[in-house]
Homo-oligomer: A and B are copies of this chain.
């Protein structure tokens, strides 16, 4: 492709993702249509289907583009204090999930992922994995610094930290506030404390 074509493609791609983001907030995921996304983005429907196999794939990409915009690369804060850093991160995540636009996008994505194994795989590889790697790196640093049990299962540690958070958001069972974020961090760190009640 010529540089001009690449620029045009890139502009179209970003227009499609922005349109998907805006429309999912406006009409909700179930009523989001590829037709409407194409119209709002000023591209043909075929252009969208050339790049994305499904509505779910467009929304997945819109979510990914959003986290790219915000963080560039993904690095978690490391002040040397694991508990404080995890609280910072989880509180910030609570604020992010409170944003109606991101929340609507993610809800649409979760709805599709629940019933679409292909999309679940894309989500794990393209959205979840880079973030998980960054989180694991921070936990490993804490483990090296003696703030986690030397044999702690760090993947399980991440599960305890984040899954209750996502579940509360998904099922709307309670507020995603700083108190909940802090309580999760404290409970998880107790479970993997350097000198714990490990049998």
Complex Cα distance, B178 from A100, in Å, reads 38
* A159 contact from B121, B128, B164, B190, Cβ within 8 A: B164
Could you tell me the dominant secondary structure of chain A's interface residues?
helix
A159 contacts across to B, CB distance below 8 A: 164, 167-168, 184
* A160 contact from B110, B117, B124, B187, Cβ within 8 A: B187
* A167 contact from B167, B173, B183, Cβ within 8 A: B167
* Interface membership of A85, Cβ < 8 A: no
* Interface membership of A193, Cβ < 8 A: yes
State which residues 89-135 of A face B: CB under 8 Å.
Answer: 107-108, 110-117, 120-121, 123-124, 128
Complex Cα distance, B165 from A82, in Å, reads 25
A108 contacts across to B, CB distance below 8 A: 114-115
Complex Cα distance, B113 from A28, in Å, reads 13
Closest to A155 in B: B174
* A191 contact from B114, B116, B160, Cβ within 8 A: B160
**Cross-chain contact A186 with B199 (CB below 8 angstroms):** yes
User: Which residue, A28, A124, A186, has most C-beta atoms of chain B within 10 A?
Assistant: A186
Extra pairs beyond A107-B114, A128-B171, A163-B168 (11, CB < 8 Å):
A28-B115, A110-B111, A120-B171, A156-B184, A159-B167, A160-B160, A160-B164, A160-B188, A167-B167, A190-B191, A195-B197
